Structure 1
Amino acid sequence: MYQPPHFRETRLDVLHDLIRSEPLGLLVTNGPDGPVANPLPFLLDTDTPNGTLRAHCARANPVWREIQADPDMPVLVVFQGPQAYVTPSWYATKQETGKVVPTWNYVIVQARGRAEVFEGADWLSKQIRNLTESHEATREKPWAVDNAPADFVAAQTRGIVGIRIEIASLEGKWKVSQNRPPEDRTRVAAGYDEAERPDMAGLVRTYGAERG
């Protein structure tokens, strides 16, 4: 992706935190009919230098057969974080020169690697249990896979296929007004506060402070 230096985020812990907080990744593959994008919920393991992504898809989804047919095919997974419009009306520069235009602030992580397919019951059982536990953990009464009948779970498991991606490279882009003068950043953050977007306001303030 287009990556101006002032928007580049390279800290591995920050990139991993975004993946964990926004786990629905867009898996992009290049099939026989061209690029295909599939949204899948991912788990992140830290067993390799950049991490490993795990997911599963419906057996009826052709993406896993495309991966199986071409194991050297590079794949891309895109994780989208907070994003929001920026109105030029927020900028102090608007009053000073009028030379401003609208833009968009956003946070994004892109992971690249090669994918493997897993059809074994043990791998799939671990996958669905880990995924369920990761999202049920904060609930007062967490639902568990074992709450469903064993034969039903087994039948459902036969209908999915696992996908594992060892991350070869990670790119992060935090475009949150770092390129604007300090007063513009202050007003953008205040604008997000008024728009009830504390997540975006916090990002503008944090990354603006780092830039100085």
Structure 2
Amino acid sequence: MYIPEAFEESRELELTRVIEQFPLGSLSYCVNGRIDAIHIPFEYVPSARGGLLRAHVSRANPIWKALANGAEVLVVFRSEDAYVSPNWYPSKHEFHRQVPTWNYQVVHVRGHFRAIDDEKVVRGIVARLTRSNEARVQETKPWKMSDSAADYIDALLKEIVAIEIEITQTIGITKASQNKDDRDRQSVAENMQRVGKCEMSRIVAHAKNAQGTPRS
């Protein structure tokens, strides 16, 4: 991934935040010279060796048999994004030297793939993904696997296979108007708030400019 220096995201906590808050990853892989991708939610497991990504796929999905264990894969996690109008820059109205752009935040994770056809492992992954995601949307009494009939859950678990990715590299981009001066960047944040892009507005407001100076 090409990363302009001004937009490089090197903060480990921010990289982890994106993975955990936007867990639906795009898993890209290559089998027999053909590039393909699937889109599945991941569980991030930190470790001293770089961490793991765990997920599950349908047994009917050919990836878990077609992709060799140890194969290199790429998972892309996409955070917030927003269009930026040149009219949002105060400097545009003075000098007329601005153009449209797009602010966004993404994390790329490379690693080695492994399929795990083990019911106990699958059950654990499903349970943990359920707990973490139910916590986002339910204030009281989140759904849990035991809320459904045991034989129903057991039958569904037989239809999925666990996958695990041993992480070898994590890189990211936070493109949040860091290459603009303070007044232009502040105006971008305010206009994003106005059009409902509140999270991207927050990211822009807390970004540093290309010289490393936080906006006051």
TM-score in same-fold range (> 0.5)? yes
What letter is aligned with 1:55? Answer: A
CA distance in 2, matches of 1:197, 1:135: 22
Which position in structure 2 is the counterpart of 1:6?
6
Farther-moved stretch of structure 1 (123-132 vs 103-112): 123-132
Which position in structure 2 is the counterpart of 1:198?
198
Percent of pairs identical after alignment?
Answer: 36
1:78-120, Cα deviation, whole Å (9 max, x unpaired): 0000000000111122112211110000000000001110111
Which position in structure 1 is the counterpart of 2:130?
132
CA distance in 2, matches of 1:49, 1:73: 18
Which position in structure 2 is the counterpart of 1:211?
212
CA distance in 2, matches of 1:45, 1:4: 29
Which position in structure 1 is the counterpart of 2:60?
60
RMSD: 1.4
What letter is aligned with 1:211? Answer: G
Farther-moved stretch of structure 1 (131-140 vs 187-196): 131-140
- 4+ runs deviating over 6 angstroms: none
Q: Secondary structure at the match of 2:141?
A: coil
* Among 101, 104, 119, the residue aligned to 2:102: 104
Does structure 1 retain, via aligned residues, the 8 Å contact 2:70–2:114?
A: no
Q: Tell me whether 1:117 sits opposite 2:118 in the alignment.
A: no
Alignment of 1:27-176 (within 5 A): 27-32=27-32, 34-67=34-67, 70-138=68-136, 139=138, 140-176=140-176
- Per-residue deviation, 1:2: 1.1
CA distance in 2, matches of 1:191, 1:49: 41
Does structure 2 retain, via aligned residues, the 8 Å contact 1:182–1:208?
A: no
What letter is aligned with 1:164? Answer: E
CA distance in 2, matches of 1:191, 1:137: 31
CA distance in 1, matches of 2:134, 2:205: 32
1:18-44, Cα deviation, whole Å (9 max, x unpaired): 101000000101122511110000001
Does structure 2 retain, via aligned residues, the 8 Å contact 1:112–1:167?
A: yes
Runs of 5+ unmatched residues, structure 1: none
CA distance in 2, matches of 1:50, 1:187: 38
Q: TM-score, normalised by structure 1?
A: 0.94
CA distance in 2, matches of 1:55, 1:113: 14
Does structure 2 retain, via aligned residues, the 8 Å contact 1:20–1:44?
A: yes
1:41-63, Cα deviation, whole Å (9 max, x unpaired): 00011124322100001011111
1:170-195, Cα deviation, whole Å (9 max, x unpaired): 00100000011222111111111211
1:114-158, Cα deviation, whole Å (9 max, x unpaired): 111011111111111111111123521111111111111111111
Residues paired across the two proteins, number: 210
CA distance in 1, matches of 2:165, 2:95: 49
Does structure 2 retain, via aligned residues, the 8 Å contact 1:48–1:166?
A: no
CA distance in 1, matches of 2:141, 2:117: 31
What letter is aligned with 2:96? Answer: G
Which position in structure 1 is the counterpart of 2:17?
17
Farther-moved stretch of structure 1 (139-148 vs 80-89): 139-148
